[in-house]
Every structure is written in C-alpha cells, then in structure tokens.
Copies of this chain bind each other. A is one copy, B any other.
Amino acid sequence: MTMSLSADLWPDVQPETARRLMLAGVESFARRGYHATTTRDIASAAGMSPAALYVHFPSKAALLFAISRSGHEQTLALVRNAVAKVQEPVECIRLMVADFVAWHARRHTIARVVQYELNALPEQELEVVTELRREIERLVREVITEGSATGAFTVADPRTAARAVLSLGVDVARWYSERSRQTPEALGKEYSELVLSMLGTRAG
C-alpha cells in the first residue's frame, strides 16, 4: 500500500484534492514566489481547472497561509520536542539544531515558502505565524541563556546567539537541493557541531 506525499505532509487535510492543491502551491510558490504564481499555475499543476481551487480554499492567500502555518507548526514541534526530551543545554541544542537543519534540508521546498514568502501573507494571518516564530526564537534563546548561566556556553549575548543559530538553520532552505552531497541527517549533525562550536562549548 502506497501513500501520496501530500497525505504524508498534511494528514489532517481533507480531501485529497485539497492536499494536491497545497502541494502544487508549495512547488509553485517555492520556485517563482507567491506573487509570480497564478491561480491557474497552481490549479493546472494539480490537474484541475482554476475554479477548483476556490472549492477548497477561500483565496490564494488562504492557500499560502495553510502551507505556512503547517510548516511553522512542524518546526516549532521539533524545537519543543528537543526542549522536552533533553534538559542538559549542550545536548538539547545539539538535538534541536540537528532536527531543525535536517527538516529544512529534507523539506527545503516547503521551508522556502515558510521562510521567504512571509510578507505575502495578509496582516491577520501574518500575526498568527509571527507568534509561532517568536515562540521558536524564545525557546532557542532560553536554552542558550540557561547554558550560559551554567557555564556550558560562552557567548557575549544570548539574543544575538539565538538569532545566529536560527539564521544558520533557516538559510539551509535557500541552497539545499536533492543533489547536495549530504543527506539531511548528516547535514544536521555537521551543523549541530558548528553551532556548539560557535556557542563556545569546551569539547565541541
């Protein structure tokens, strides 16, 4: 029994046609950008007529929002999982960065939409997503602050350090492709070493 990619990515979206539209949207938005993508592009990539989009989504922007929110929730879940599972700051950051980077590599198409099409969102929807982003940054910052206090990390400013850590992870989406030499997991591991080094751990 095989499962479609879209069912894997958005198991709670019904019906399957709506998921196909989201997948087509992701690919179009990632390649050309939101504003350069037409509803006709999306619909025909999903094998339907332009009007079919409006059966499942009230607008083109709503489709973007569905994609963006889901992506942000997935990455937030990764970060939360690391915080919940590992108390010790060094190992927590190691797991967090490894997962975060691996996700941005494996799902680089989605991640590109999530990270680089933010300002195409309508105001209200942007607020929802911004709240998720703040929470992600807050969690990272707290772990770094904690590690700084115990002496595990040596950083001038946890706020700047947290932003730098996220920059490293986020930017992976921009350049990673299927033809990259490393698997998402291997890249995640390498990046977690770089980050721990950057944060000034004694034994990287």
CA distance A34 to B32 in the complex (A): 11
Q: Does A139 contact B (CB under 8 A)?
A: no
Known A36-B35, A168-B167; judge A190-B157 contact (CB<8 A).
yes
For A116, A157, A198, the residue with the greatest tally of chain B CB atoms inside 10 Å of its CB is A198
Residues of B within 8 A of A164 (CB): 168, 191, 194
The minimal Cβ–Cβ distance linking A147 to chain B, given in whole angstroms, is 14
Contact assessment for A156 and B33 in the assembled complex, using a CB-CB cutoff below 8 Å = no
Give the dominant DSSP class at A's interface.
helix
Q: Which of B33, B160, B167, B198 contacts A120 (CB 8 A)?
A: B33
CA distance A35 to B119 in the complex (A): 12
CA distance A119 to B34 in the complex (A): 12
- 0/1 interface trace, chain A 24-36, chain B, CB 8 Å (1 if under): 0000000111111
Q: List chain A positions with a Cβ less than 8 A from chain B.
A: 31-36, 116, 119-120, 154-157, 160-161, 163-164, 167-168, 170-172, 174-175, 182, 187, 190-191, 193-195, 197-200, 204
Q: Which 10 A-B pairs have the closest CB atoms?
A: A35-B35, A167-B171, A198-B198, A35-B36, A197-B198, A194-B198, A167-B168, A171-B171, A164-B194, A197-B200
